[in-house]
C-alpha cells in the first residue's frame, strides 16, 4: 500500500521510536495477540505499519485502520554525559588556619571525596530546579527542550577516577544535532553558569576546604557513556564532527552516514581560525583526528570506502612511524 510521505512524516513525528503500545484489538490474524498486550515501538515502515517489540516476544506489526491500539508516550531514558573533575584542597596549618595555597587534585585523587561532592551538588540546586534541573534555564523552544525532561549534575566513580556526570532524562530519540546542542548547553552550565557558582563554594572537610571544578581549560571533554567507555570508542565513527572544507577552508559539520556537509554558523573568513574551532570542538567531544578524517572521507567518497574507517588512518600512522595526521 502506497502511503503519502507527508502522512508518514506526521506519524513518525507524533509517535517516535520507543513509544509504548497497548493493544485493544488485532483483526484478521490467526496469531493475533490478546487485548491489553504491551510493547515498544521500533519503527513505522513506508507502508505505515507499526513495528513493535511485544513483551511476549511476538514481532507482529500493527496496521492503522485495521488494528485498534493506543500509543503512549515513550518512557524516559537516562542519557549520561561524562566530564573530568578537578579540585583544589586547602589544608590547615598547625594553628588550624587554612593554608594560603591549595593542592591540585584530579579525578583519581577525588575518589575518596565522592560522597561529600555528591551532597554538595545536591545542596547547590535551587528550588526552581526541582522538576527539570538545569533544563529550567534552557530558553530555546526546540527539540532539546521538547525531549529532555531534566538534567542533574552528579559525581560517579568509574575506571579508577571520579567524574562529573550530567544525568539527562530524555523522552524519544535525540537527533545528532540535538545531542550536540545538549552537550554544548551542559558545557556552558559546567563552565560559566551553574558550575561557576559551584566551584566557588567550599566543601568543608576535617582536613580543610575543598573547591571542585566541573570544567577546566586543559584537555576537558564531554562525552556520553558510549562515547567515553565503549571498547571501540576510538575506532568507531561519531554521530557528528567538525572539519574544515578542503580548498575553501570553511568550517563545516559532518553527520555520519550522510553525503556532503553542513556549513557551520561559527565559520569565519580565516582558515586557521576555522581549523582551531574544528579542533577545539572535536577535542571537547573526544573526537580524534583519525575519526574526523574518516568522517570527511565518508561524506565525500562514500561510507563504504576504506578511508571512512578511522582504523585505516591509525594503521597508516603506524606505518609512517607514528607521525601525527595533519
With beta carbons less than 8 A apart as the criterion, state whether 135 and 150 touch: yes
Nearest 5°: phi and psi at 81? -110, 130
Asked whether the whole model's pTM tops 0.95, one would answer no
Run of H or E residues at 1: none
Mean pLDDT of 16-45: 89
At residue 70's C-alpha, the angle toward residues 65 and 71, to 5°, is 105
State the pLDDT at residue 54.
94
Residue 124: count of CB within 10 angstroms of its CB: 14
What is the per-residue pLDDT across 128-165, written as a single tens digit (0 to 9) for each? 999 999 999 999 999 999 999 999 999 999 999 999 99
DSSP letter assigned to residue 219: S
Going by C-alpha positions, the residue among 189, 171, 288, 190 that lies closest to residue 241 is 288
* Adjacency order of strands within the sheet including 77-84: 148-158, 161-170, 77-84, 223-224
Cell triple for 219? 584537555
Q: What is the pLDDT of residue 316?
A: 66
85-119 per-position pLDDT tens digit = 999 999 988 888 888 899 999 999 999 999 999 99
End-to-end CA distance of the chain: 52
**CB neighbours (10 Å) of residue 171?**
17
Name the percent of the chain lying above pLDDT 70.
Answer: 95
Q: How far is CA 124 from CA 15, 121, 175, in A?
A: 37, 5, 31
What cell does 128 get? 526552581
Say what the pLDDT of residue 317 is.
61
Question: How high is the mean pLDDT of the chain?
Answer: 91
pLDDT recorded at residue 325: 47
- Model pLDDT for residues 224-281, shown as the tens digit of each residue: 999 999 888 768 899 999 999 998 999 999 999 999 999 999 999 999 999 999 999 9
- In three-state secondary structure terms, 307 is helix
Smallest CA-to-CA distance from 212 within 104, 325, 64 is with 104
Name the nearest CA neighbour of 310 among 322, 321, 294, 298: 294
Q: How far apart are CA 138 and CA 188, in angstroms?
A: 11
- The full set of domain ranges for the chain reads 5-72, 77-225, 230-319
Strand ranges, E, within 85-145: 86-91, 103-105
Q: How many whole angstroms separate alpha carbon 10 and alpha carbon 222?
A: 34
- Asked whether residue 69 carries a pLDDT value surpassing 80, the answer given is yes
**5-72 maps to which CATH number?**
2.30.30.30
Amino acid at each position: 500500500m502506497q502511503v503519502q510521505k507527508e502522512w508518514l512524516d506526521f506519524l513518525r513525528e507524533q509517535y517516535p521510536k520507543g513509544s509504548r503500545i497497548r493493544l485493544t484489538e488485532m483483526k484478521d490474524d490467526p496469531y493475533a495477540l490478546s487485548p491489553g498486550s504491551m510493547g515498544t515501538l521500533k519503527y513505522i515502515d513506508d507502508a505505515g505499519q507499526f513495528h513493535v517489540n511485544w513483551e511476549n516476544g511476538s514481532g507482529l506489526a500493527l496496521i492503522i485502520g485495521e488494528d485498534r491500539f493506543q500509543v503512549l508516550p515513550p518512557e524516559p531514558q537516562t542519557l549520561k554525559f561524562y566530564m573530568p573533575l578537578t579540585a583544589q584542597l586547602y589544608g590547615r596549618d598547625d594553628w588550624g588556619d587554612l593554608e594560603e595555597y591549595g593542592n591540585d587534585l584530579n579525578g583519581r585523587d577525588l575518589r575518596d571525596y565522592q560522597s561529600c561532592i555528591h551532597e554538595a551538588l545536591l545542596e547547590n540546586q535551587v528550588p526552581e530546579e526541582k522538576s527539570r534541573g538545569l533544563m529550567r534555564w534552557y530558553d530555546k523552544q526546540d527539540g532539546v527542550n521538547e525531549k529532555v525532561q531534566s538534567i542533574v549534575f552528579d559525581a560517579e566513580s568509574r575506571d579508577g577516577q571520579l567524574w562529573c556526570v550530567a544525568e539527562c532524562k530524555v523522552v524519544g530519540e535525540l537527533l545528532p544535532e540535538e545531542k550536540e546542542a545538549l552537550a554544548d548547553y551542559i558545557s556552558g552550565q559546567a563552565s560559566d553558569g551553574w558550575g561557576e557558582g559551584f566551584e566557588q563554594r567550599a566543601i568543608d572537610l576535617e582536613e580543610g576546604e575543598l573547591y571542585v571544578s566541573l570544567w577546566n581549560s586543559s584537555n576537558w571533554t564531554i562525552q556520553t557513556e558510549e562515547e567515553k567507555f565503549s571498547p571501540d570508542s576510538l575506532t568507531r565513527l561519531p554521530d557528528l564532527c567538525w572539519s574544515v572544507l578542503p580548498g575553501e577552508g570553511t568550517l563545516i559539520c559532518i553527520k555520519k552516514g550522510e553525503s556532503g556537509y553542513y556549513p557551520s554558523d561559527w565559520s569565519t573568513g580565516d582558515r586557521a581560525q576555522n581549523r582551531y574551532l574544528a579542533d577545539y570542538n572535536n577535542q571537547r567531544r573526544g573526537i580524534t583526528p583519525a575519526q574526523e578524517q574518516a568522517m570527511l572521507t565518508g561524506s565525500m567518497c562514500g561510507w563504504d570506502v576504506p578511508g571512512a574507517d578511522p582504523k585505516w588512518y591509525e594503521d597508516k600512522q603506524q606505518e609512517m612511524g607514528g607521525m601525527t595526521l595533519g
